[in-house]
Amino acid sequence: MSLRETNDPLPMTELIGTVVAVQANFYQVQLEVQTISPPETMLLCTRRSLLKKMGQQVMVGDQVVVVEPDWLGKRGAIAQVFPRKTELSRPPIANANQILLVFAIAEPQLEATALSRFLVKAESTGLEVCLGLNKCDLVSTDELLQWRDRLLNWGYQAIFMSVSQGLEYTINSDHQILQKSLFQTENYFEEKTLLHQLQNKTTVISGPSGVGKSSLINQLIPSINLRVGSVSGKLGRGRHTTRHVELFQLPTGGLLADTPGFNQPELECEPQELVNYFPEAKHRFQQGSCQFSDCLHRDEPNCIVRGDWERYPIYLDFLDAAIAYQEALQQQRDVETNVKSKMKSGGKQQLEPKLASKKYRRSSRRFQHQTLQDLCEDFNEEE
Residue 134 interacts, among Zn ion, ligand GDP, none and using kind-specific CB cut-offs from 5 to 8 Å, with ligand GDP
Residue 164 in the binding site for ligand GDP (CB under 6 A): yes
In degrees, rounded to 5, the angle at the alpha carbon of residue 250 between the alpha carbons of residues 246 and 256 is 35
- Spatial neighbors of 182 by CB under 8 A, at least 6 apart, are 161, 162, 163, 166, 167, 168, 194, 195, 219
Residue 305 interacts, among ligand GDP, Zn ion, none and using kind-specific CB cut-offs from 5 to 8 Å, with Zn ion
Q: How far is the CB of 144 from ligand GDP (least distance, A)?
A: 13
Which residues 195-224 are close enough to bind ligand GDP by CB under 6 A?
209-215
| Contacting positions for Zn ion (CB under 5 A) | 290, 295, 297, 303, 305
Residue 297 interacts, among Zn ion, ligand GDP, none and using kind-specific CB cut-offs from 5 to 8 Å, with Zn ion
Distances (CA, A) of 6 to 36, 72, 94, 95, 102: 21, 32, 18, 16, 35
- H or E segment at 213? helix 213-220
Strand intervals (E) in the chain: 15-23, 26-31, 42-47, 63-70, 75-81, 87-88, 93-94, 98-104, 128-134, 159-162, 167-171, 177-181, 202-206, 247-249, 255-257
Residue 94 interacts, among Zn ion, ligand GDP, none and using kind-specific CB cut-offs from 5 to 8 Å, with none
Residue type, 94: A
Q: How far is the CB of 200 from ligand GDP (least distance, A)?
A: 25
Q: How far is the CB of 303 from Zn ion (least distance, A)?
A: 3
Q: How far is the CB of 206 from ligand GDP (least distance, A)?
A: 10
Judged by DSSP in three states, 189 sits in helix
Return the range that interacts with ligand GDP (CB under 6 A); candidates 16-24, 47-55, 225-233, 299-307. 225-233
CB nearer ligand GDP, residue 112 or residue 167: 167
- Spatial neighbors of 216 by CB under 8 A, at least 6 apart, are 102, 132, 134, 163, 205
CB nearer ligand GDP, residue 199 or residue 209: 209
Residue 303 interacts, among ligand GDP, Zn ion, none and using kind-specific CB cut-offs from 5 to 8 Å, with Zn ion
Residue 307 interacts, among Zn ion, ligand GDP, none and using kind-specific CB cut-offs from 5 to 8 Å, with none
Q: Of 134, 203, 252, 326, which one interacts with ligand GDP (CB under 6 A)?
A: 134
Q: How far is the CB of 267 from ligand GDP (least distance, A)?
A: 21
Classify burial at 12, counting beta carbons within 10 Å of its beta carbon; exposed 0-12, middle 13-18, buried 19 or more. Answer: exposed
Which residues bind to ligand GDP, rule: CB under 6 A? 134-135, 137-138, 162-164, 209-215, 228-229, 233
